[in-house]
Amino acid sequence: MPSRNDASSSAPVRLLKGAALVFAAIGGGMAAWGLDKWIRYPEARGSQFGFEAPLWPAFTLFVLFA
């Protein structure tokens, strides 16, 4: 049975942790960008099927919860 400190098993773990960190950084950056646009341009609206709604709050909340 390989030990827990085996180099072959820790490389994939480090890779996954690094990928999770990159994903979190990208998502956090997108959420910060969305929040900035929400504050600067509250009049920006998105429309779908004839209904209009503020665009930035929905985008920011989607990124935060995704």
What was the pLDDT predicted at 51?
A: 72
| Domain count along the chain | 1
In a domain, 11, yes or no: no
| Residue 65 domain boundaries | 26-66
**What was the pLDDT predicted at 48?**
66
C-alpha distances (whole Å) from 61 to each of 21, 58, 66 are 20, 5, 8
Considering the domain boundaries, does residue 44 fall inside one? yes
Bridge partners (DSSP) listed for residue 47: 52
pLDDT at 60 over 90: no
Is residue 52 included in any domain, yes or no?
Answer: yes
Within a domain: 7: no
Q: What is the pLDDT of residue 15?
A: 92
Q: What are phi and psi of 46, to 5 degrees?
A: -110, 150
Q: Is residue 31 part of a domain?
A: yes
pLDDT number for residue 31: 81
Contact 2/10 with Cβ under 8 angstroms? no
Q: What is the pLDDT of residue 4?
A: 60
In this predicted model, what pLDDT tens digit does every residue of 8-44 receive, in sequence order? Answer: 578 889 999 999 999 889 888 888 887 888 788 777 6
